Structure 1
Amino acid sequence: MAPPRKHDTDVILDAARALVLREGPRAAGVAAIAAASGAPVGTLYHRFGNRNGVLIEAWIRALDRFQSRVLAAAEADDPIEAAVAMTAGAVAFGRECLEDAKLLLELRPSDLVDGAPDTEFRDRLARMNEPLFALLHRIATGVYGADGEREIDAVSRAVVDLPYAALRRHSHAAELPAWLEDDLAIAARTLLTTR
């Protein structure tokens, strides 16, 4: 059995995220992340490969936290209720993981890394997004009877664009407004039922 890790991965990723959000992606070099996290430079290289590896893992972790909340929220059989629940899941993510939300809202992976993200990253991201795309198709078919480009776009406006814009607007506040879920639910329901 392998010995337990001395330096917690989440602590390292939290330090990288904090550096990026506070000082920008260029400030998050391996030495700076090591100093901020307390992990030796060698540990970062061993665990993540390089600076890009650390920052990509921080971004992927944030995306995974977002997706898990949205997918868990959208389990209703009724497509409108599933869609409305997705908006609530997005706000829950913003409330529970505000720093992760800021990372996803403010930076794309290409903003973080030196050079374009590699094929392995793109494949991993595609696999992660499959359940969300399947959910969008299920909702579009349930609401509109089809899941073509126009129907997917209509659902995306309600359950992706709307919460994204609301979270972006409020991401620099100390906390999200208490009424945000209710307002987004009304707006999403309206968008999906009036076409």
Structure 2
Amino acid sequence: MARPPRFDTDQLLDAAVLLAAGGGPAAVTMSAVAQAVGAPSGSMYHRFPGRTALLAEVWLRTVERFQEGYFAVLTGEPDPHRAARAASRHVVAWCRAHPDEAALLLYGAADFGRADWPEEHVRRADAGNGRVFAAVARLAEALGARDAQARDRVALALVDLPLTVVRRHLRAGDPLPPHAEDLTERCTAALLA
């Protein structure tokens, strides 16, 4: 009977998240992750064929975890104004609960080598993004956003504004202020009034 692996994929990806949060995508190497968990390099190559696949997986796992909650909030409230406020609030709350992952998401998929990802990873990223963008578009329509300017206002309220509230603190390595969710929700409500 084969011995179970000492290091599972999630442990390796958790280490990669910490490395990326501290030093950006360049800090995520096969040897750095192996060293961070005390694993032999072979453990890395057993799970990831190379650094490109590792970068893709750490990005995708992180963004998918964020998108799961964000999508649920966007689609879980029948009142579009409440859903919009809850979605903007969720961004801040998720970043507060997951500061290392949030710091990682301040980069983009391109910073994690998307141009070189295998097709399966690109499809996975596009599917997740498409699902969230479609939910935002449906919410914008429910809010009465009929022209480009109105749709831009919804995107600002649901995406750009919450990220702006958290970005400065995350980049400085500071905790989010206790009022960040309330501030974000009030600003979103004002934009969409």
Whether the TM-score (by the shorter chain) exceeds 0.5 is yes
The 4+ residue runs of structure 1 with deviation greater than 6 A are none
Q: CA deviation at 1:115?
A: 5.5
Task: Give the counterpart letter for 1:97 in structure 2.
Answer: H
**What secondary structure does 1:144 align onto?**
coil
The separation in 2 between residues aligned to 1:23 and 1:141, in whole angstroms, is 40
**Aligned in 2, Cα 1:9/1:173: closer, same or farther, shift over 3 Å?**
same
**Aligned in 2, Cα 1:2/1:124: closer, same or farther, shift over 3 Å?**
farther
**Aligned in 2, Cα 1:49/1:188: closer, same or farther, shift over 3 Å?**
same
**Aligned in 2, Cα 1:114/1:40: closer, same or farther, shift over 3 Å?**
farther
**Aligned in 2, Cα 1:79/1:114: closer, same or farther, shift over 3 Å?**
closer
Contact 2:30 2:44 in 1 (8 A): yes
Identity %: 37
1:113 — aligned with what? 113
Q: CA deviation at 1:3?
A: 6.8
Task: Give the counterpart letter for 1:164 in structure 2.
Answer: L
Which structure's relative contact order is higher, taking Cα pairs within 8 Å and 6+ residues apart? Answer: 2
Contact 2:70 2:90 in 1 (8 A): yes
**Aligned in 2, Cα 1:27/1:187: closer, same or farther, shift over 3 Å?**
closer
Contact 2:67 2:132 in 1 (8 A): yes
2:19 — aligned with what? 19
The separation in 2 between residues aligned to 1:160 and 1:88, in whole angstroms, is 10
1:37 — aligned with what? 37
How far does the alpha carbon of each residue in 1:48-105 deviate from its partner, in whole angstroms, 9 at most, with x for none? 2111211221111111121122223331101111011001111111111100000001
2:186 — aligned with what? 186
Asked if 1:85 is matched to 2:86, the reply is: yes
Provide structure 2 residue ranges, at least 5 long, that are not aligned to the other structure.
none
The separation in 1 between residues aligned to 2:35 and 2:120, in whole angstroms, is 28
Task: Give the counterpart letter for 1:79 in structure 2.
Answer: P
TM-score, length basis structure 2 = 0.88
TM-score, length basis structure 1 = 0.87
- The two structures, once aligned, show a CA RMSD in angstroms of 2.3
Contact 1:13 1:55 in 2 (8 A): no
Contact 2:53 2:117 in 1 (8 A): no
Q: How does 1:150-161 map to 2 (within 5 A)?
A: 150-161=149-160
**Aligned in 2, Cα 1:175/1:28: closer, same or farther, shift over 3 Å?**
same
The separation in 1 between residues aligned to 2:169 and 2:145, in whole angstroms, is 34
The separation in 2 between residues aligned to 1:151 and 1:63, in whole angstroms, is 26
Provide structure 1 residue ranges, at least 5 long, that are not aligned to the other structure.
none
**Aligned in 2, Cα 1:2/1:174: closer, same or farther, shift over 3 Å?**
farther
Task: Give the counterpart letter for 2:57 in structure 1.
Answer: E
Q: CA deviation at 1:114?
A: 8.7
Contact 2:161 2:184 in 1 (8 A): yes
